Amino acid sequence: DAGITQSPRHKVTETGTPVTLRCHQTENHRYMYWYRQDPGHGLRLIHYSYGVKDTDKGEVSDGYSVSRSKTEDFLLTLESATSSQTSVYFCATAYGQGNQPQHFGDGTRLSIL
């Protein structure tokens, strides 16, 4: 949907290691978002971007950082992964603010042992 590709699709790693997830979009959407989805919590916003090099925190941003050096790429980094960050991570994009729907990638399943 909306040409969104997330990589990797699956990853298993150990506590304390750095992890970077990538979201790539081909639709030239201005807004990009990272969510995590956990049972009983639904989707929660981690960070979002409203333009190149313009980012801000969501409701569950602790332990995560993001970067957006190009319109098409939005990276999510776990500096030192913890078991509580085991989750499914979704990237979403939107053309603009206001009336525009969000479009989602297929997710990255991340397991931290």
Partner 1 sequence: KQEVTQIPAALSVPEGENLVLNCSFTDSAIYNLQWFRQDPGKGLTSLLLIQSSQREQTSGRLNASLDKSSGRSTLYIAASQPGDSATYLCAVRYGGATNKLIFGTGTLLAVQP
Tell me whether residue 13 or residue 102 sits nearer to partner 1 (CB atom): 102
Residues pairing with 10 in the sheet: 109
Q: Is 14 in the site for partner 1 (CB under 8 A)?
A: no
Q: Quick one: 48 or 74, whose CB is closer to partner 1?
A: 48
Q: How far is it, in rounded angstroms, from Cα 104 to Cα 2?
A: 8
Interface residue with partner 1 among 16, 18, 26, 41 (CB under 8 A) is 41
Verify cis geometry, omega within 30 degrees of 0, for the bond prior to 39.
Answer: no
Please select the residue that binds partner 1; options are 22, 27, 45, 63, rule is CB under 8 A.
45
Query: Smallest gap, in angstroms, from Cβ of residue 113 to partner 1?
Result: 21
- Report d(CA 108, CA 51) in Å as an integer: 23
- Collapsing DSSP to helix, strand or coil, 71 comes out as coil
Q: How far apart are CA 55 and CA 109, in angstroms?
A: 23
Applying the rule CB under 8 A, the residues between 64 and 103 that interact with partner 1 are 90, 92, 94, 96-103
Sheet of strand 64-70: strand arrangement: 4-7, 19-25, 73-78, 64-70
Q: Does residue 54 belong to the site contacting partner 1 (CB under 8 A)?
A: no
* Residues making contact with partner 1 (CB under 8 A): 1, 4, 31, 33, 40-45, 48, 50, 56, 58, 90, 92, 94, 96-107
